[in-house]
Structure 1
Amino acid sequence: MERKRILITGAAGFLGSHLCDRFIKEDFYVIAMDNLITGDLRNIEHLFKLENFEFYHHDVSKFVHVPGELDYILHFASPASPIDYLKIPIQTLKVGSLGIHNLLGLAKDKNARILIASTSEVYGDPNINPQPEEYWGNVNPVGPRGVYDEAKRFQEAMTMAYHTFHGLETRIVRIFNTYGPRMRLNDGRVLPAFIGQAIRGEDLTVFGDGSQTRSFCYVDDLIEGIYRLLFSDYAYPVNIGNPDEITIREFGEEIVKLTGTTQQLITKPLPVDDPKQRRPDITKAKEILGWEPKVSRAEGLKITYEYFKSLPMDLIEKVEHKDFSNYNK
């Protein structure tokens, strides 16, 4: 039986690389695509020797051509951390507009089902907690986070337009805070920031008073939810995340205990439009997909910490100074 063919964009990133692994394991022919702005080939280099894997170094904001048949597309190309999308705001908007347009057109041409990676950031700084899919959000379109939030909101709107107007098979996953091996230590997100600071012997930085909340989902759980959503019959957004909510200060204390660091929690001003609450309502995921997270935070954090400790010290200490000027045109 001939393998099903799937295109995964953002394939060298944190989530994209784990998706490549999952679909290789399920015996798909995986076509990986990434422009490597924030992705890292080390995340997928173990797959290069396989006969059912190929890689395209390409920016999906430009015309996308993939020869041969395609059965599925997973669109995960996008800067996803504040430190990235604040440096490359225009590319962030382009990948969420031009990029999704190109990939929806490709899906239509190939008669492929497409799943797009949206985010809990479409809810902005929410006025209700937990956040159900029916909540429209509280987003500042002209604030510093607007380039990411609105790119994802537009991406959802464009996807639904192709679904309703062209009858394209589409799926939308709204991803909440996810963690695990292959995260970048210096990407500005709270978990790798805390662990990186602990390993380097620095104080752990808490923004604001630390009362804002997050809900952390281990990457294996998230990938399972995405896999089930792709093969479901549901075309509207579905939250995938762990509803186990914790304050940032409490989380910092957990990292101190996990790493055994003697460093302290220090506070800095809260960034503009930083969400005060983040917790998914996963009722739909439970009912439609039969999915809920299985990995406890204690278990997932232990695995993630061991991964970060295994990295060469130069990667742990490295602060990236990449020239992004070509991507902001």
Structure 2
Amino acid sequence: MRAIGLNGFGAPEVLVETTRPDPVPGAGEMLVRVSASGINRPDVLQRKGAYAPPPGASDLPGLEIAGTVEDGDATALAAAGFKIGDRVCALVAGGGYAELCVVPIPQALPVPAGLTDVEAASLPETFFTVWSNVFDRGRLQAGETLLVQGGSSGIGVTAIQLGKAFGARVIVTAGSDDKVAACCALGADVGINYKTQDFVAEVKAATDGKGADVVLDMVAGAYVAREVQCLADDGRIVIIAVQGGTKSEVNAGEVLRRRLTITGSTLRPRPVAFKGAIAASLRTHVWPLIEAGRIKPVINKVFPAAQAAAAHALMESSEHVGKIVLDWKA
């Protein structure tokens, strides 16, 4: 099979097209003929040598795919309602940058009706992440306010749409007025240009001084102390990336006095059963909204798979709004 591998660690140019033996599915797994692969920030970190695949995972980058079931554990496929030839999208722990990918069956979902494989490949990583962290860990409820740091990212555009679909008020930060406008066009109630505005003051003003109930934080570092300042009583900060650094200093007295929660998680190393439970929740609660057109994939650009280096360069530029996808059929 064709694949995109790493010729060392470093700049996007270390991503090179190569060939690998076709993978073979084992018990509880399916083999997917990949049509499209999503690009995500963890792929960039892996390319730089900063995010190794978990034990047992493919060394190839790629955490989300869409394509057609080609082979697999017949009993497990039938139990999950899949068969050979079905179109699926899936979250994987690695190996997504290839024409064939082995997928744990619980981590696969049917391609939502009406979507192309390219659109479907943009869904798993961000939807699994947002559902697990905003709704399961962050316990966002209808009527609450969600602050999304980095609203124009793939995670951000997903969080905006899911937050609104489930009755929350959504405030976002983004790095330009154009990105703020794009977020508001997707449904965000308030957009803040973090380069020209103080997000703490803006969140306070937008909530009549109450603050946000849940913060989805991809920055960490010095942002955490500022997020504590703009958090409502009983509020929750959920950290899912540390682009601003791993060290944060917070006022522990505020945490105690106002019953705040600061938590976080990474999804990639979690067990199949955990990811399978998220997939089941998405299939029940979110997939019908996608099929009804209430939630839509937001794709910034599609690259032929051979141009993975250019796709990574765009990801690192942060000039995109939404997802970047590799097309294996281009």
The structure that is helix-richer by fraction is 1
**Taking structure 1 as the reference length, what is the TM-score of the superposition?**
0.36
**Taking structure 2 as the reference length, what is the TM-score of the superposition?**
0.35
